[in-house]
A and B are shown apart, each in its own frame.
Chain A
Amino acid sequence: MVAIGEVDALFDTQEAVASSPRPWTHGLRRIAWWRGIVLLCTGAFFLIPLYAALRFSLEGVDGGFTLSAYTAIPSQAGFTAALSLSLRLAVVTTFITLFLMVPTTVYVHLRLPGLRRLFDSITIVPIVIPPIVLIIGVLQVAPTSLKSTPYLLAFEYTVLAMPFVYRSLDAGLRAIELQTLVEASRSLGGKWVPTLWRVIVPNLRTAMLSATVLTVALVLGEFTMASLALFQTIPVWIYQFAQDDGHVSTAVSLLALVVTWAVLMVISSFDLRRIRRMAQERKEA
């Protein structure tokens, strides 16, 4: 029971709060201010090296501005082959990774939920073990036929991508009612493959796109393994060519960055459009 005096006091307090200059908004402004500074520092940390690289790549012999480093890229020996190899490896690695990891992760969620923590730990191993150790070990034991093909790298990259892919898929599976969907499908006559293909995979689209983005980014940027296995992917080519022509090499680095970013944006936009459409439909509903 609240006494009348207490109720009045309550209103007084509320009025006092309402008429005060809203001290909490000052706090928010202070947070926003610090957020801006942090953003500025982080942006500078990333953008200054890029600006330096861009300026260097546009600098002519006489110190003037020129695009010659960029126009010369397609005619450089080995560039097209390296780019092609990197892109093929990205596609093959993504395919192998999703082909292996989607059913595995689904199986763990459905049948071995108690082992999820163990799988979390296991999938971190490729991050803990340095790539140099992985590739040397593989080169020791891999059959010659596999060592002679650059697709050996695709298998290596699959291992490297596993931590990121597993986590993406794990998050995706947690977001859907997996057990119910699977049981609904099976009660309607769906066997495992149709259930996986028609029910689970379409609902894991966002998670799979996220996994694809991470895998492609990893493959296009990986240097150590490709270099030690003596295959010339784009990062290896950039490194080797930098010793001949620093300007062109820097231009290629920047272009690779832009192309990778563009590819990732395209992949992400597939899902972004769908998410926006769904949000709009929900709003309308």
Chain B
Amino acid sequence: MTTTAGQHARATEQSRGAEHTGASVDLLGLRRRFGATQALDGFTLTLEPGELVALLGPSGCGKTTALRVLAGFETVDSGSVLVDGVDQSRIPPQKRDMGMVFQSYSLFPNMTALDNVAFGLRMRKVGSQERRTRALEQLELVGLASEAAKYPHQMSGGQQQRVALARALAIEPRVLLLDEPLSALDAKVRVQLREQIRVLQTRLKITTLFVTHDQEEALSMADRVCVMRAGQIEQVDTPSTLYAAPATPFVAEFVGTMNRIPGAIADSGRVSLLDSVVDIRTAVAEAGGGAASFPTGTPVDVLVRPEGLAVTPSPQGRGIVMTTTFLGSITRLGVLLDEDVVVYADISNAAVAIPTGSAVEVTLTERSVMVADRTGSVHSVPKSVPSPVEAQAPEH
């Protein structure tokens, strides 16, 4: 019975997916101020049909505001929102055909899972029999057809979010909006659900805007990631480019773990640090907010990822291992260098173990690096060190 329903659901979804190509979305020059806070400051972003773009940034950077503007729940002071080239400014939320999954559990508590999923179809005056069939198909799609008769309070958080996803997909939205839908879930369910969302989104080819403050989610799910700060876009790029070639120090430090190591500009576009002289890939003046050209001898900060450093035990080494964090296949060492700078370096667990308190030599393995003008006294302390639990989360 379930298998038949599942096959039917897949067939229907495939036939729908074949004709569904998603809508293009243009957010053009959006500005929105809340009192003294400029939530959006000339925000411009384009989503190609069928693309999943993640808005990533710290709290208060304006990512949720941008999503709510697209949904029609917020107005803008200036700028426009186009879906398939049509201006949405005068279209109320209920007529925009956008499915939305919220951060908090948003299922209607008075309705069963089936009724929740069928709600959007009911609002579209779809007949009761077809409504029921289509709602069941959507529940089958998220693997919850057997829970159709349950009320939200009888389901777990993960199940509720899957029903919410089915409900958003049931109306065959032109754009799917995900407002931190995984943040209330535990780590294991979060990983499962994000994979499920990605598979469905790819299969159904729905243009999707996904808001998150979790870089791991953004990098693992999105076609492109838009990193935001203070209402503005810092960089929009594919996850791999964002990680390998961040455009700004903010992106470099916000995405992944990044060390700031003191160095000095050598001649002919090179920088010296840790007894090495390497090419400068990008030079950025943080104060000026853009590319920079530093004169020879200028003290700068060199931005290097933990995997760009090598650590070897050495009694005469310049560093002392302060912390070791087991991360599955690697161990991350926190090494105290001169000038009170702590850098983080990854070593393979297959290599020789380096205990805390050991004297070590730290060397650079990258051939080109990003440099930024020296901003302050604190040069390192990366913003995020994945916990062992996160690193070892089962992937299924």
CA gap between A187 and B174 in the complex, in Å: 12
Given contacts A188-B120, A189-B120, A189-B171, whether A281 and B93 have CB atoms under 8 Å apart is no
Number of interface residues of B (CB under 8 A): 33
A190 CB contacts on chain B under 8 angstroms: 94, 119, 123
With contacts A184-B100, A185-B119 taken as known, whether A191 is within 8 angstroms of B94 at the C-beta atoms is yes
Residues of B within 8 A of A185 (CB): 108, 119
* Assembled-state Cα–Cα distance A180/B103 (Å): 9
Residues A249-285 near B (CB distance < 8 A): 278, 281-282, 285
Interface of A is mostly: helix
Complex interface: chain A residues within 8 A of B177 (CB):
187
Given contacts A187-B94, A190-B123, A285-B154, contact A180 B102 (CB under 8 A): yes
A130 sits at the interface (CB 8 A): no
CA distance A185 to B96 in the complex (A): 13
A185, A194, A281, most chain B CB atoms within 10 A: A185
A171 interface contact, C-beta 8 A: no
Tell me if B110 is interfacial: C-beta within 8 Å of chain A.
yes
User: Do A189 and B124 touch (CB < 8 A)?
Assistant: yes
Rounded to whole Å, the gap between the CB of A148 and the closest CB of chain B is 42
Interchain CB contact (< 8 A) of A203 among B92, B110, B164 = B110
Report which of A181, A187, A205 forms a contact with B108, defined as CB distance below 8 A. Answer: A181
* Given A180-B106, A203-B110, A278-B153, residue A194 in contact with residue B100 (CB < 8 A): no
Residue of B nearest to A183 (CB): B73
Q: Mark A150-177, 1 if CB is under 8 A from B, else 0.
A: 0000000000000000000000000011
A199 CB-CB contact with B under 8 Å? yes
A189 touches B104 (CB 8 A): no
CA distance A177 to B100 in the complex (A): 16
A-chain residues with CB within 8 Å of residue B72 when the two chains form the complex: 186
CA separation between A202 and B124, bound complex, in Å? 21
With a CB–CB cut-off of 8 A, which chain B residues contact A278? 151, 153
| Bound form: Cα–Cα A70–B95 in Å | 63
Q: B79-114: which residues lie under 8 A (CB-CB) from chain A?
A: 92-100, 102, 104-110
Task: Count contacts between A and B, CB distance < 8 Å.
Answer: 79
Q: How far is the CA of A187 from the CA of B72 in the complex (A)?
A: 9
CB-CB under 8 A from A191, the residues of chain B are 94, 123
Pair A281/B167 contact, Cβ less than 8 Å = no
Distance of A169 from chain B, by nearest CB (Å): 16
Q: B322 to chain A: closest CB distance in Å? A: 19
Chain A CB within 10 A, most for which of B98, B102, B168: B102
Across the interface, do B106 and A184 meet the contact criterion of CB distance under 8 Å?
yes
Chain A residues near B123 (CB-CB < 8 A): 188-191, 194
Output the least CB separation between B167 and chain A (Å): 7
Please give, as numbers and ranges, the residues of chain A lying within 8 Å of B164 by CB-CB distance: 184
Are B153 and A282 in contact, with the CB atoms below 8 A?
A: yes
- Report the Cα distance A285→B154, complex, angstroms: 6
In the complex, whether B30 has a CB less than 8 A from a CB of chain A is no
Contacts of B124 in A (CB 8 A): 189
Tell whether A189 pairs with B94 under 8 Å between CB atoms, given A176-B109, A177-B106, A184-B108: yes
The reply to whether B171 and A188 form a contact with Cβ atoms under 8 Å apart is yes
Complex: A183 Cα to B93 Cα, angstroms = 8
Q: Is the CB of A199 within 8 A of B108?
A: yes
Could you list 9 further interchain pairs (A-B, Cβ under 8 angstroms) beyond the known A177-B106, A199-B110?
A: A180-B102, A180-B104, A183-B73, A183-B93, A184-B107, A186-B94, A188-B123, A189-B94, A189-B171
Interface positions of B (Cβ within 8 A of A): 71-73, 92-100, 102, 104-110, 119-120, 123-124, 151, 153-155, 164, 167-168, 171, 177
Which 9 A-B residue pairings sit nearest by Cβ, starting from the closest? A188-B120, A189-B123, A202-B110, A187-B100, A184-B106, A186-B93, A180-B106, A186-B94, A285-B154
Question: Which A residues have a C-beta under 8 Å from some C-beta of B?
Answer: 176-177, 180-181, 183-191, 194, 198-199, 202-203, 205, 278, 281-282, 285
